[in-house]
A and B are shown apart, each in its own frame.
Chain A
Amino acid sequence: MPAIQIDDLTRAYGDVTAVEELSLTVAEGELFGLLGPNGAGKTTTMEVLTGQIAPDSGQVAVLGVDPVAEPTAVRELVGVLPEKESPPSFMTPREYFDFVGSVRGLDDETVDERTDTWAERLGFAEKLDTMATDLSRGQQQKVMIAGAFFHEPAVVFIDEPLANLDPIVQERVKRFLREYREAGNTVVITTHDVDVAAELCSRVGVVHGGGLVADVRPSELPADETLLDVFLDRVDATVERGVAADD
Chain B
Amino acid sequence: MKKKKDSIGARIKKAIVKDWQLFILIMIPISFVIVFHYIPIYGVQIAFKSFKPSLGIMRSPWIGFDNFKNFFNSWQFSRIIVNTLRLSFYGMLISPLPVILALQINYITNAKYRKAVQMITYAPYFISNVVLVGIINLLLNVRTGPLNNLIYMITGQQTDILGSATAFPHLFTWSGVWKSLGFNAIIYISTLAGVDVELHEAAICDGANLLKRIWHIDIPHVLPTYVLLLILSMRNILQTNFEKVFLMQNSLNIRTSEVISTYVYKVGLVANIPNYGLGTAIGLFNSLVGLILLIIVNRIADKVAGYGFF
Query: Bound pair: A and B?
Result: no
